[in-house]
A and B are shown apart, each in its own frame.
Chain A
Amino acid sequence: MSTTYLRLELLRMFRNRRFFVFSLGFPIVLYYLIAGPNKDNHDLGGSGISAPVYYMVGLVAFGAMTAVLSAGARISAERSTGWNRQLRVTPLTTRDYFRTKVLTGYAAACATIVVMYVAGATLGVRLPARSWIEMTGLILVGLVPFAAGAIAMGHLVPVDSIGPAMGGTTAILAFLGGTWFPITGDGVFATIAKCLPSYWLVQASHVGLGGAAWGRTGWLVVAAWTVALTALAARAYRRDTMRV
């Protein structure tokens, strides 16, 4: 795989102002607005987690989802301008094309994670090194279904509606996943939430409490979404290229 291709794709993304606004700017501003006034709350909504930690991870989930899904927006844009056809007459394989797009999305997600961790530290978040690492690992794994979903959306949604489609998806998944408030209890709402991949991203904040943050349910849900969205992405891609 060409590292030059990946390097220049990354360069393109970091030069794009929208990236800074939506993947980095939004989460930070929202974090200080929501967690700032509650920074002394050590048990947010009965979750057992302090507000700064909870919202740090909640907004990491929000920003990283946006970052990874934006890979789909880039695919959609390249389809609409015909750039993907230009790439199809080069030796670049489909696998490497998607790999580059996903890695670019992950790079943006990592930038969000780092920035939010720093923001968290300024509001007094202190965790053992082990917890930071474990939390980051869970978030990166939890983003895998979103990467597959990004490729599927990139091939299903035309470029003029991909912005609202991605924004809407992110907003709903963030809301139902517990980015804005902890989801507790065993009600219908909590049951729905537990079936969503975004919920488990937010649940990565539980690492500091001892014990596994995800448990078997979390791993199963993330795996199921990964399998389903990968199948959808493969189908969307095939349909898209076979049409002609």
Chain B
Amino acid sequence: MRTVRAGTREAVGGICIDDLAKTFQSPQGPVRAVAGVDLEIAAGETVALLGPNGAGKSTTIEMLLGLTRPDRGTVSVFGRAPESAVDAGEVGAMLQTGSLIRDLSVRELVTMMASLYREPLAVDEALELAGIGPLAGRRTQKLSGGETQRVRFAVAIVADPDLLVLDEPTVAMDVESRRAFWAAMRAFVAREKTVVFATHYLEEADAYADRVVLMAGGHIVADGPPTEIKAMVGSRRIRATLPGADRAVLAALPGVTDVELRGESVVLVCSDSDAALRALLRTSTDARDIEVTGAGLEEAFVQLTHEDRAAEAA
């Protein structure tokens, strides 16, 4: 029994995820991989699912592709069930794990996959978009890790899908492969496709997505344009030696979100470290050994999920 919400209709052209949940049984007991996710993605959007390992990104993606059956909730892709969208050839995917089958050349493999669709891209076009034209004649078992990933990307786009789903596509790639990969990705996205990709690199989400959905602990903890998310999780810390510091005064400085005191040293967690630093130097002239560092993404996640749980408990 589901009630259609007002927002659902607008998302018919895109993806609508409603109250999605999945728990796996493990030897240590049940693991709540996805714990109630609501998400609407308009057609043509490029959305990054950003989060640390175990955030629920892959499980969400598997349910989006119809590979995993949700315990609760629904997913619709262009107004139909994921399996139907897959059968209609509307979806292309690059899953997190998976090697290629051997004893075929790259061109033969991409041709094989193209043959499964009614209206695929031309094989040469897919190879070119993925930037692997020069590898066309190479046997799949003789590719490097980065090359394999780009062939897997070609396999995903040869479907000419309306929805492209990529689960941590650049994991295990070196810097150069990564750059080549995103250039290929950009060329494909220019064709007004809907793209959902999972990553745990903030920079990738920032550089290539229109919108970033931050996940942790099976929940969406934030959802917004990359700049906004970057401000949230890309917080900086100011560390300084400041004898006799007053917590209340420091906490009141502009751009400061949290204060930690450890003996004579203080750590200011900042949403705007520039403003905070200016104010600190103005008000606490005896502050010395000043250091500004970027907080790690993991740390930001811990903090955000912490806030999330506190809000849930309240």
Contact = CB atoms under 8 A, between A and B. Distances in A.
B113 interface: yes
Contact of B101 (A83, A91, A244): A83
Contacts of B69: 242, 244
Interface residues of B, number: 34
A91 B88 contact: yes
Contact of B116 (A11, A15, A92): A92
A3 B112 CA distance: 10
Nearest to B97: A82
B104 A11 contact: yes
B93 interface: yes
B98 A86 contact: yes
Nearest to B91: A89
A61 B170 CA distance: 48
A4 interface: yes
B47 interface: no
B65 A8 contact: no
B103 A5 contact: no
A91 B115 contact: no
Interface string B82-118: 0000111101110101111111100011011101111
B210 interface: no
Select the residue from A11, A87, A89, A90 with max chain B CB neighbours within 10 A: A89
Given A78-B101, A244-B68, A86 B159 contact: no
Given A88-B67, A91-B116, A8 B97 contact: no
A92 B86 CA distance: 9
Please classify the interface of chain B as helix (H, G, I), strand (E, B), loop, or mixed, using the class held by over half of its residues: loop
B112 A4 contact: yes
Contacts of B117: 90-91
A105 to B, nearest CB: 16
Interface string A87-111: 1111111000000000000000000
A68 B111 CA distance: 25
Contact of B99 (A81, A92, A93, A244): A81
B99 A90 contact: no
A5 B69 CA distance: 28
A16 to B, nearest CB: 6
A108 B91 CA distance: 34
B214 interface: no
Given A12-B101, A81-B99, A90 B159 contact: yes
B113 A90 contact: yes
Select the residue from A3, A12, A81, A86 with max chain B CB neighbours within 10 A: A86
B104 A8 contact: yes
Contact of A83 (B93, B100, B115, B159): B100
A161 interface: no
Nearest to B161: A89
Contact of A89 (B65, B101, B104, B108): B65
A8 B159 CA distance: 18
A82 B116 contact: no
10 contacts: A5-B115, A8-B108, A8-B111, A12-B104, A78-B101, A83-B98, A88-B67, A91-B87, A92-B116, A244-B62
Interface of A: 2-5, 8-9, 11-13, 15-16, 78, 81-83, 85-93, 242, 244
Interface of B: 62, 65-69, 86-89, 91-93, 95, 97-104, 108-109, 111-113, 115-118, 152, 155, 159
User: What 10 pairs between A and B have smallest CB-CB spacing?
Assistant: A82-B98, A4-B115, A12-B103, A2-B115, A8-B112, A15-B103, A89-B93, A90-B116, A81-B99, A92-B116
